[in-house]
């Protein structure tokens, strides 16, 4: 089988990249272990994605935003950071800006479904090779050969890894990644509560736990609880009523009594940053390139922006009659995406490590940093700019 581009991973970033190449004349294959029915109707996985303004613009350009049902996106108007037992909060809002919100919260499974529907409706030569895994890779200066689990071999000019932060294709390409295991696990679930959240997201770095509440439409929030893995497993196995009471207690009743209204999902907290984002006829996208700690809510946004960068550089090469998968194109993508991600990746990890440490020096520094942040307006403004990411690419 011959294609111009083979994308390994039919998650949201892989589907977005395939959609970004529509209209280029390139033939594209998307290799995905799940069957197509799972891409067409993905199940709820607990994750709520805070889409920046730029990410929303990319989704609109792909035709995916139109497939998100009205009433699903929930406005994120303010974010507050709390530390320990103090009521003092570091606040991020849109005061003095044209936008009324920092971003929009959309369930991950709805984003995946919208991108699938947009891709199916897009012009172009895209084939979904579902129910198959990539098991072998060979590259040379002219192209790549990708072996699949059913014995099929794909010849392509470019192979793209978009198969998670534990990417097998990244390993097959011989690209190493630095990893940081935080030794914690995350549990996510939707909770109905009695007090209004006013569309304010809260990140509470308590002593011994971290809790985030993400405001959804109505009196509903997504609870994100971070604890050691054995405690998370115990919380996951509680009956629904006991779980609701436990979350209410852990959150000190800030939103009143809380009731579990969804399934519960758990994820390990491991950050990943690839040593290289590109190799000979190979590029990494999404979590295969940068797998973020969720505290800054930028993981999927980085993935969506990265595929947009690579697609723009491929389109520019095609317009100039150049080899779209040659070294200069891929190195240009790598340099631009690394510049956009490296600083926040390191800052996010440092923040997560500091604010999850219960040692006395860390506790003192945590409180001081929070209060300093509220008084340093340029710093706080820069963080809001990053949260909103309103600037579109030229």
pLDDT interval class at 89 (50, 70, 90): confident
Give the contacts of 371 (CB within 8 A, at least 6 positions apart). Answer: 88, 90
Q: What are the pLDDT digits (tens) for 43-70?
A: 999 999 999 999 999 999 999 999 999 9
DSSP-assigned states of every residue in 44-69: P-S-EEEE-HHHHHHHHHTT-GGGSP
- Which of 185, 271, 263 lies closest to 226, judged by CA? 185
Q: What are the pLDDT digits (tens) for 232-274?
A: 999 999 999 999 999 999 999 999 999 999 999 999 999 999 9
Residue given tokens 């000190």 in the structure block: 252
Q: In what order do the strands lie in the sheet with 48-51?
A: 48-51, 103-107, 74-76
* Average pLDDT, integer, range 104-118: 97
Residue given tokens 């994120």 in the structure block: 76
The pLDDT of residue 378 is: 47
Domain 2-69+105-179+271-355 falls under CATH 3.50.50.60:
yes
**Which range, of 138-142, 232-236, 378-382, averages the lowest pLDDT?**
378-382
pLDDT interval class at 392 (50, 70, 90): very low
- H/E stretch holding 219: none
Tokens of 250: 């852990």
The pLDDT of residue 393 is: 43
Q: pLDDT at residue 381 above 80?
A: no
> Per DSSP, what are the bridge partners of residue 204?
82, 211
Task: Judge contact between 204 and 285, C-beta under 8 A.
Answer: no
The pLDDT of residue 88 is: 74
Looking at every residue in the chain, the average pLDDT score rounds to 91
Tokens of 341: 């991600």
Give the pTM.
0.92
Q: What are the pLDDT digits (tens) for 315-344?
A: 999 999 999 999 999 999 999 999 999 988
* Average pLDDT, integer, range 78-96: 81
Please report, rounded to a whole number, the percentage of residues in the chain having pLDDT higher than 90: 77
Distance CA 243, CA 58 (A): 38
The pLDDT of residue 74 is: 97
The pLDDT of residue 374 is: 56
**Which range, of 37-46, 278-287, 371-380, averages the lowest pLDDT?**
371-380
Q: What are the pLDDT digits (tens) for 283-309?
A: 999 999 999 988 777 889 999 999 999
Q: What are the pLDDT digits (tens) for 141-176?
A: 999 999 999 999 999 999 999 999 999 999 999 999
Residue 104, helix vs strand vs coil: strand
The pLDDT of residue 349 is: 85
Distances (CA, A) of 65 to 47, 118, 119: 18, 9, 12
């Amino acid at each position: 089988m011959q294609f111009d581009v083979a994308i390994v991973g039919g998650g949201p970033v892989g589907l977005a990249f395939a959609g970004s190449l529509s209209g280029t004349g390139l033939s594209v294959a998307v290799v995905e272990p799940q069957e197509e029915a799972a891409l067409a109707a993905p199940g709820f996985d607990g994750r709520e994605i805070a889409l920046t303004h730029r990410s929303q613009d990319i989704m609109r350009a792909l035709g995916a935003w139109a497939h998100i049902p009205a009433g699903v996106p929930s406005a994120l108007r303010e974010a507050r950071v709390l530390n320990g037992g103090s009521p003092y909060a570091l606040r991020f809002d849109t005061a003095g800006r044209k936008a009324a919100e920092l971003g929009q919260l959309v369930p991950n499974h709805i984003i995946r479904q919208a991108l699938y529907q947009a891709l199916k409706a897009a012009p172009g030569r895209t084939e979904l090779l579902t129910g198959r895994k990539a098991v072998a890779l060979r590259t040379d200066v002219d192209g790549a050969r990708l072996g699949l689990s059913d014995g099929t071999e794909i010849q392509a000019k470019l192979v793209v890894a978009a198969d998670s932060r534990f990417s097998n294709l990244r390993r097959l390409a011989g690209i190493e990644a630095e990893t940081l295991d935080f030794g914690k696990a995350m549990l996510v679930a939707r909770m109905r509560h009695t007090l209004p959240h006013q569309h304010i997201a809260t990140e509470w770095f308590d002593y011994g736990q971290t809790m985030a509440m993400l405001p959804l439409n109505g009196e509903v929030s997504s609870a994100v609880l971070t604890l050691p893995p054995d405690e998370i497993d115990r919380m996951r196995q509680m009956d629904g009523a006991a779980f609701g009471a436990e979350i209410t207690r852990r959150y000190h009743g800030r939103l009143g009594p809380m009731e579990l209204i969804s399934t519960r999902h758990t994820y390990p907290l491991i950050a990943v940053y690839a040593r290289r984002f590109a190799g000979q006829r190979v590029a990494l996208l999404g979590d295969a390139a940068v797998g973020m700690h969720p505290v800054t809510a930028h993981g999927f946004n980085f993935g969506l922006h990265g595929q947009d960068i690579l697609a723009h550089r491929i389109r520019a090469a095609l317009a100039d009659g150049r080899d779209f998968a040659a070294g200069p194109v891929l190195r240009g993508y790598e340099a631009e995406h690394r510049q956009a991600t490296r600083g926040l990746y390191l800052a996010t990890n440092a923040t997560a490590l500091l604010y999850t440490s219960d040692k006395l020096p860390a506790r003192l520094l945590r409180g001081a940093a929070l209060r300093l942040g509220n008084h340093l307006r340029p710093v706080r403004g820069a963080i809001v700019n990053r949260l909103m990411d309103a600037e579109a690419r030229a």
